[in-house]
Structure 1
């Protein structure tokens, strides 16, 4: 955490590409270091996943660090979507080589990578716009018109159920980050001012409750999505992390997700993105 302490003393708009890559990688690790997140891998257990654990996810985050740095640098240099996409493809190859073919962070490479590029672009120009707005304005059209991954579970669920998915989210400037996750993150700090893990749990639950997570659609269809949203919504309605015994209730929801093989991977990616954006808010 020494690097994190250095970031805290550095103005957000002064972070260079190396620091942005470090910060993005750290945010991926902070997502892993959050428990209980329903159905998701954490430092405590593997959730609904038989092919990955916390150690693998952290190795993946380390592997992605230089590519996230390169995306920030490309953004600072005014790169177009074709260059960003090439860096993202290289990042995915490196991730799969490190994990033995396990998709640990494909969604994060896309979303967090675009935010890194926007952060580099914003820092180079010295402007005070949100990262999401910059992504939408600078690359939004190319995001929507670019090639569609046929391998992505989220993309397949988007096609089957008509959900917007990661491409629409990015092209619109990440509304789930700015309109759902960030307000939840900041409100949760009032509920649990001395417990950042609790803050992250509350934010993750809010995302699960409010986002059409295509990973949930892929694993459980519409029934699984509705089950997940209802469980997270009930947790929040009961007071969330601001109520005594919240951890035990969250663990019960986590176990119910695991029993149904549900994992809200899209919400996990959005949580990491929200942590990144929160740190860099102008």
Structure 2
């Protein structure tokens, strides 16, 4: 996979004079977050380099092609946010990216959630950039991005975004009252900000291991998120069971406990045996990795 490299000579004057390069960097970070999520091993029920998980129609190579097809999309959404375009233009940009993804994957949905989640996150980064240039503030934080989303697009996401009544998420919403990706984005990714990102950053500080930190964040998401992908495949009973399973794992110390990989392997086996896939949690892990990288890359760079 070819990832766009960070612009050479990247400095504060460069950012102020050329927001296109900034948007290219956002695109790089978004694609890298997706690649890091796909490349992470031991994600129960999910596609990894060594396994298809619970997905007979997907594999790691397919995810790589999908991410390749999305390069440039997050740059476009960042520029959309920078230019304060209307909600419909952001939505249409996402629709175009989804069509490109489906063409690359022979109509298999690999990253529809990521297109939606990281599309709005990228647009929010762009809008933050334009506003911080005026205010003189010198950082972009995950909280800034969250606040930008809720202030700018929450109402339209909740009330004006057309929902597909046949999607898995909407079927689960209608049948069980479970909210999904739209509500999570409209909240400014509160599940990520209050749960996954703190877990990721805490484990990384303690271990300096991004893979362990990513797995901890993923299990934290599975433990609390009403993941419509799990409910679609196994019903509410499956959701409650895997939530209890992951909560017990985290209570015992998560990835910091002795022989933690043995416990993870047991969960991997269970998810595959029962054809479960925490796809919603995987999407939010991608958001977690993206927000962490944005905070790291652009701290005091504006």
TM range (shorter): over 0.9
1:155 aligned residue: 170
* Counterpart for residue 31 of structure 2: 25
Say yes or no: does 1:70 pair with 2:76. yes
User: Is the deviation greater in 113-122 or in 230-239?
Assistant: 230-239
- Mark the structure with the bigger radius of gyration: 2
Cα distance in 1 for partners of 2:164, 2:192 equals 23
Deviations 1:181-234 (A, max 9, x none): 1111111114422x2111101110010001111111111110110121112112
Task: Give the drift of 1:248.
Answer: 2.1
- Map 1:113-192 to 2 at 5 A: 113-126=119-132, 128=140, 130-145=144-159, 146-192=161-207
Shift of 1:151: 4.0
Give the 5 Å matches for 1:1-282.
6=6, 14=15, 16-126=22-132, 128=140, 130-145=144-159, 146-193=161-208, 195-281=209-295
Contact 2:223 2:244 in 1 (8 A): yes
RMSD: 2.3
Kept after mapping to 2: 8 A contact 1:80/1:139: no
Give the structure 1 partner of residue 18 of structure 2: none
Deviation at 1:4, TM superposition (A): 9.3
- Cα distance in 2 for partners of 1:276, 1:111 equals 11
Q: Distance in 1 between matches of 2:10 and 2:239?
A: 40
In structure 1, distance between residues paired with 2:237 and 2:54: 17
Aligned partners of 2:94 and 2:119 also within 8 Å: yes
* 1:102-122 deviations in Å (ceiling 9; x for gaps): 000111111111000001111
Q: Which runs of 5+ in 2 are unaligned?
A: 16-20
In 1, are the aligned partners of 2:44 and 2:277 still within 8 Å (CA)?
yes
TM-score in terms of structure 1 length: 0.93
Shift of 1:254: 0.9
Deviation at 1:125, TM superposition (A): 2.1
Question: Number of residues paired by the alignment?
Answer: 281
* TM-score normalised by structure 2 residue count: 0.87
Q: Secondary structure of 1:130's partner?
A: helix
Distance 1:199 1:267 in 2: 15
User: Partners of 2:144 and 2:123 in 1: how far apart?
Assistant: 12
Structure 1 residues 266, 11: closer, same or farther in 2, change over 3 A? farther
- Once the two structures are TM-superposed, the CA of residue 139 in structure 1 deviates from its matched residue by 0.7
